[in-house]
A and B are shown apart, each in its own frame.
Chain A
Amino acid sequence: MLVKLWQALLSGLSVGSVYALIAQGYYVTFITTGALNFGQGDFLMIGALFGVTCYVTLGLPYAIAIVGAVALLAIRTTLRHALSLSWVLSTVAVSIILKNAAVQIWGPEQIKFPSPFGDKVIHIGPAGIFPQELFIIFGSIGTVLLVQFFLKRAVLGKALTAVAYNRKAAAVMGINVQRMVVLAFVLSSALAGLGGVLIAPITFAWAYMGTVPGIKAFAAAIIGGLENPIGILIGGLAVGVLEQFFGIINSNLKEGITFLFVLLILAVRPTGLMGRKEIEKV
């Protein structure tokens, strides 16, 4: 049993770090625009499938696959700045269109995406883990930290944060708000795309792979508190590990536990575990 738990913890951290990565995308768009990009899951899917094309079909190295996927996403997302109302539905609409496109380009089948690190299991204690899973953990958490560094230290990142804080004041200071909003969406989609490339070797790549991770990442972001990047990281890892733990008991529970968990948390803390408790100024 202990071995199982250890194994679940390792796999959970791996899946959870991908959730955390995607969830960071929700964070970035939410703080800048107050809107959520519900297309996240499908950008993950596009990232993975594009990665397959680059890596398997064209035989390019893994790194280029990542860059290619991210670049494509960047281009696609710049199209969305024209939308300013009913964001939620518009992003859902974009994701519906993306799915249809994916089916037409790559077909409806699941495509295998071989890991560049091979399939040799690494043993950590009594449990085994694929090298890809380890790479996911470090890659995702590293990226999350990089994004934070970018937002807190880089001038562009600070501009983004400024827009988040007060759009009008940022505009007065000469920041192109529109461009920053686009940047936020590009960044968030790119994070999802990266997540797709990372996770595809241990799942499969196919047109419908994105919906569930996209929603679970949203749950992770909400659990942590949408405005708290550290909370989101913890939320993501927690969701991943929780799922694997409950997966030991019953595979049906595994599917539902995240949503039960998020309902329970929101019933007690309406802005997530580490979200700011809002006091409305009157």
Chain B
Amino acid sequence: MRLPVFAHTAPRDWIRFLVAAAVVLALPLVFHDPFFILVLQSLAYLFIVALGLDILVGWTGQISLGHAGLYAIGAYTSALLATRAGWPFWISAPIGVVVAGVAGALLAIPSLRAKGPYLAMVTLAFGFMIEVTSNRWQGLTNGPMGISAIPAPTLPDGEEMSPAQYFWLIAGVALLCQLLANNLLGSRVGRTLLALRGSEIAAQSVGVNVYRWKVLAFVISSVYAGLGGVFFAHQNGFINSDTFVFALSVSFLTSVLMGGSGTLYGPLVGSVILNLIPTVFARLHEYHLYIYGGIILVTIIFLPDGIVGSLLKLPVVRRWRRPPARIEPEPGGLAFHQARDDGQPVIEASNLTRDFGGIRALNRVNIAVRPRIVHGLIGPNGSGKSTLVNVLTGLYPPSSGEVRLQGGVLGRVRPHQMAKLGITRTFQSIRLFGELSVLDHVMVGYHLHLRAGIWRHLLQTTGAVDEEQLFRRKAMALLQFVGIAERAHEPAHNLPYGQQRLLEIARALALQPRLLLLDEPAAGVNPTEMQRLVKIIQDIRNGGVTQVVIEHHMDLIMGISDVVSVLDFGEKIAEGTTAEIQGNPKVIEAYLGTGLEAAHA
């Protein structure tokens, strides 16, 4: 029997969650100590925040040193609505969560282009702004004096929840949060986030709108943080500005790293352990910070992958995990874009110029690629071949000149939009998505063909699950086509160099492009693989896809190209059939220098 939602959750996963739910239910019944129940509540909502932070840090590869700010926004929104407007928890709480999500979207804006320390600064500054606001805007937050008499949630009969009931509420929501996070991260969403973490440029090349997905990650993460904040605000009935400080953001981050960032259960383990430290070492409060700092250091030095991350790497655990099921390739799953051959060029550039500072990498280049052919692009190092590909795929805007696609002039088009127009590429320096499996790389390639969006994956509807499985079979067919199907479940970075190049081609083909640009596909490829590569390129052409191939291997270029263009010092010096090019004196000069007679003259 299959449920209409959570269709992908296996029976053993349900059992796991039922056990977890039973533990949650039993804890306050077994231990009656009010302080203990209070600690349990805190553990549950702090875990929710850590889980959300992991989605941002571990999966998307962003950093946040300002999560305390989002937590504060959730807490203050709900607390103010409850105390000033007298709204019940059941209304103020969701609003608090939504406001935190909106704040996350706003925070995402300056974060999109900022990287590394600059991104750290954006989030840090955001956290401090909220900290200062909560401390200084006394009219709203009452600063360090705080807001008191925040009501606890009420039961249907109007009674306020007991501490145990409140714990059940928080822990129940926390369980649901974990379940939904598992759904999301185990689906297309997690895969796409990991892909853009691995290489934004490669993700764009198959149509992933990197900005949109980053905003999504920020919003999900902020919703979780806001939820934690809301539960905190209604826990003791009192909040003040002393809570929402930088150190809190650091502790959230520490929970994630300690548990293992980018793992499903790392945040749970990390946040429980870290937040139990003050309770366990309560008697040593003078040394609390030593212990806290020491534990962070020890974890980072000895468990750089975090507790869960390190456990997952143990050989015992690896063997114990079930091998992934064999996937049969979908019959006829290999599909190419069918170009109409109406004689119109697929892509046409006129007077294309691109400058980098004072260097002119491309100088008034005209090129037209006819449909259903292999168009070779050669030239000595530094002649502008890669720059041409980068401009044609939207990675760099041209300094002047225009690109025409099927007759229409392209404005400023970003790479993921180029992918939507059916143009994609492979990379000279291989760009894979970190630890993603070979199969998942191809799945990311299908990005624009997958219909089920975030909501359906969040709930794992049957439709989303079926679509996923269908495309997995198609991906297998594609991997079979390039000849690496037997390695589908391995992490892509384990593949030898030549196979990584083939994987890049498979990923690009998943898009079903009308134009495929291969940037030095044979670099570092051994002779056997080279033969396979030639066959693949020919098959793709026979399938109806237009290709532009940059290469230094003259045998390869002369063997497969229908037309060859030659660049030298940013200018196109020749174009024609392979025979014409081989006899062209300008080309010979560009490659071999001037002849003896000329040198003596």
Q: Does B bind A?
A: yes
CB of B301 within 8 A of CB of A282, answer: no
Q: Would A90 and B289 count as touching, CB distance under 8 A?
A: no
- For residue A260, CB closer than 8 A to chain B, the reply is yes
The stretch from A11-19, A123-131, A160-168, A267-275 touching chain B is A267-275
**Complex: how many Å from CA A104 to CA B115?**
38
* In the complex, chain B residues whose CB is within 8 Å of the CB of A271: 114, 118
Cβ < 8 Å to A, chain B residues 105-127: 109-110, 113-118, 120-122, 124-126
Name the A residues within 8 Å of B286 (CB-CB): 104
Interface centre among B63, B115, B136 (most CB of A within 10 A): B136
Query: Which residues of A lie under 8 Å from residue B118 when comparing CB positions?
Result: 222, 226, 266, 270-272, 275
Pairwise interchain contact B126-A263, C-beta atoms closer than 8 A: yes
Query: From residue A246, how far is it (CB to closest CB) to chain B in Å?
Result: 12
Whether a CB of chain A sits under 8 angstroms from the CB of B254 is yes
**Most chain A beta-carbon neighbours within 10 Å: one of B297, B356, B428:** B297
A92 touching B250 in the complex, CB below 8 Å, given contacts A100-B293, A252-B136: yes
Our pick among A96, A99, A211 for the contact of B296 (Cβ within 8 Å) is A96
Of the candidates A97, A100, A279, the one whose C-beta lies within 8 Å of that of B356 is: A279
CA distance in complex: A96, B248 (Å) = 12
Known: A256-B136, A270-B114, A282-B201. A262 touches B289 (CB 8 A): no
Measured CA separation A133–B124 after assembly (Å): 29
The residue from B121, B135, B287, B296 contacting A219, defined by CB atoms under 8 A apart = B121
Known pairs A215-B128, A260-B129; A86 contacts B136 (CB<8 A): no
Which single residue of chain B is at the shortest CB-CB distance from A256?
B132
User: By the criterion CB–CB under 8 Å, are A256 and B290 in contact?
Assistant: no
CA distance A256 to B395 in the complex (A): 37
CA distance A260 to B201 in the complex (A): 30
CA distance A39 to B343 in the complex (A): 65
Tally A residues with Cβ within 8 Å of B: 44
Give the Cβ gap from B174 to chain A, nearest Cβ, in Å: 24
A54 at the interface (CB under 8 A from B): no
Task: State whether A256 touches B129 (Cβ < 8 A).
Answer: yes
A99 to B250, CA, bound (A): 15
Per the bound structure, the CA–CA distance linking A30 and B356 in Å amounts to 26
B interface footprint on A89-121 (CB within 8 Å = 1, 0 otherwise) = 110111111011100100000000000000000
A residues near B246, Cβ cutoff 8 Å: 211, 215
A97-B289 in contact (CB<8A)? yes
Bound-state CA distance A139–B132 (Å) is 31
Q: Which residues of B contact A266 (CB under 8 A)?
A: 110, 114, 118, 121-122
* Interface mask (B296-335 → A, CB under 8 Å = 1, otherwise 0): 1100110010000000000000000000000000000000
Given contacts A256-B136, A270-B118, contact A86 B257 (CB under 8 A): yes
Point out the residues of chain B lying under 8 angstroms from A36, CB to CB: 117, 120
Residue contact B428 to A82, C-beta cutoff 8 Å: no
Q: Is the CB of B132 within 8 A of A226?
A: no
Does A88 interact with chain B (Cβ within 8 Å)? yes
* A205-249 vs B, Cβ < 8 Å mask (1 yes, 0 no): 000000100010011001000100000000000000000000000
* A residues less than 8 Å from B110 (CB atoms): 263, 266-267
- The answer, among A93, A219, A270, for a CB contact under 8 Å with B293, is A93
The chain B residue with its CB closest to the CB of A80 is B297
* Residue among B293, B300, B390 making CB contact with A282, cutoff 8 Å: B390
Q: How far is the CA of A86 from the CA of B250 in the complex (A)?
A: 13
Is there a chain A Cβ closer than 8 Å to B253's Cβ? Answer: yes
B301 in contact with A83 (CB, 8 Å): yes
Residues 144-167 of A, flagged 1 when their CB comes within 8 A of B and 0 if not, give 000000000000000000000000
Q: Contact flags (1/0) for B385-398 with A, using CB distance below 8 Å?
A: 01000100001100
How long is the Cα–Cα vector from A62 to B361 in the complex, in angstroms?
A: 58
Q: Which secondary structure characterizes the binding site on chain B? A: helix
Kindly provide the distance from the CB of B142 to the nearest chain A CB, expressed in whole angstroms.
Answer: 14
With contacts A222-B121, A255-B132 taken as known, whether A89 is within 8 angstroms of B301 at the C-beta atoms is no
**Complex interface: chain A residues within 8 A of B428 (CB):** 282
Question: For the complex, is B133 an interface residue (Cβ under 8 Å from A)?
Answer: yes
Q: Bound complex: CA of A252 vs CA of B290, how far in Å?
A: 33
Is B294 close to A, CB under 8 A? yes
Which residues in B have their C-beta under 8 angstroms from that of A263?
A: 110, 122, 125-126, 129
A271 to B115, CA, bound (A): 8
Complex Cα spacing A101 to B286, Å: 10
The answer for the CA separation of A95 and B289 in the assembled complex, in Å, is 10
* Cα of A95 to Cα of B113 in the assembled complex, Å: 29
Q: Output the residue of B63, B124, B128, B250 with the most chain A CB within 10 A.
A: B128
Whole-angstrom distance from the CB of B157 to the nearest CB of chain A?
Answer: 44
A135 within 8 A of B: no
Specify which of A222, A259, A279 lies most central, judged by the most chain B CB atoms within 10 Å of its CB.
A259
- Of A83, A270, A272, A279, which one neighbours B113 at CB under 8 angstroms? A270
CB-nearest residue of chain A relative to B110?
A267
Question: CA A1 – CA B195 in complex, angstroms?
Answer: 56
> CA of A219 to CA of B128 in the docked complex: distance in angstroms?
11
CB contact between B117 and one of A92, A95, A226 (< 8 Å): that residue: A226
A90 is contacted by which of B117, B135, B300, B390 (Cβ under 8 Å)? Answer: B300
How many whole Å from B228's CB to the nearest CB in chain A? 20
Q: At the interface, yes or no: B292 with Cβ under 8 Å from chain A?
A: yes
Pick from A211, A255, A280: contact of B136, CB below 8 A.
A255
Contact (Cβ within 8 A) B297 A100: no
Contact A270 to B129, CB < 8 A, known contacts A83-B300, A86-B257, A282-B201? no
Question: Is A85 engaged at the interface, CB distance under 8 Å to the other chain?
Answer: yes
A96 to B135 CA separation, bound complex (whole angstroms): 22
Taking a contact as CB atoms under 8 Å apart, the answer to whether B129 and A96 are in contact is no
Residues of A within 8 A of B257 (CB): 86, 89
Judged by a CB distance under 8 angstroms, whether B137 is at the interface is yes
**Residue contact A92 to B296, C-beta cutoff 8 Å:** yes
Question: Given that A30-B117, A83-B300 are contacting pairs, would A280 and B294 also be in contact in the complex, using a CB cutoff of 8 Å?
Answer: no
- Do the beta carbons of A89 and B254 come within 8 Å of each other? yes
Which B residues lie within 8 Å of A96 (CB)?
289, 292-293, 296
**Contact partners of B132 in chain A: CB under 8 A:** 252, 255-256, 259
Q: Are A93 and B296 in contact (CB under 8 A)?
A: yes
Q: Tell whether A218 pairs with B136 under 8 Å between CB atoms, given A90-B300, A92-B296, A96-B296.
A: no
CB-CB under 8 A from A255, the residues of chain B are: 132, 135-136
Chain B residues lying within 8 Å of A211, measured Cβ to Cβ, are 246
A256 in contact with B296 given A89-B253, A211-B246 (CB within 8 Å): no
CB distance from B124 to the nearest CB of A (A): 7
**Does any Cβ of A come within 8 Å of B166's Cβ?**
no
Interface residues of A in 190-216 (CB under 8 A from B): 211, 215
Q: How far is the CB of B139 from chain A (nearest CB, A)?
A: 11
A226 surroundings in chain B (CB, below 8 A): 117-118
Kindly state whether residue B232 has any CB partner on chain A within 8 Å.
no
Least CB separation from B387: chain A residue: A282
Sampled A-B contacts (25; CB under 8 Å):
A36-B120, A85-B301, A86-B300, A88-B120, A89-B250, A89-B257, A93-B297, A94-B297, A100-B288, A211-B246, A215-B246, A218-B124, A252-B137, A255-B135, A259-B126, A263-B129, A266-B114, A266-B121, A267-B110, A270-B115, A271-B118, A272-B118, A282-B201, A282-B390, A282-B395
**A-binding residues in B (CB < 8 A):** 63, 65, 109-110, 113-118, 120-122, 124-126, 128-129, 132-133, 135-137, 201, 246, 250, 253-254, 257, 286-290, 292-294, 296-297, 300-301, 304, 356, 386, 390, 395-396, 427-429
**Which A residues lie at the B interface, using CB under 8 A?**
30, 34, 36, 82-83, 85-86, 88-90, 92-97, 99-101, 104, 211, 215, 218-219, 222, 226, 252, 255-256, 258-260, 262-263, 266-267, 270-272, 275, 279-282
Additional pairs, 7, CB under 8 Å, beyond known A256-B132, A259-B132, A270-B113? A83-B297, A93-B296, A93-B297, A96-B293, A97-B290, A262-B122, A266-B110
7 tightest A-B CB contacts, nearest first? A100-B289, A96-B293, A93-B296, A259-B125, A97-B293, A270-B113, A252-B136
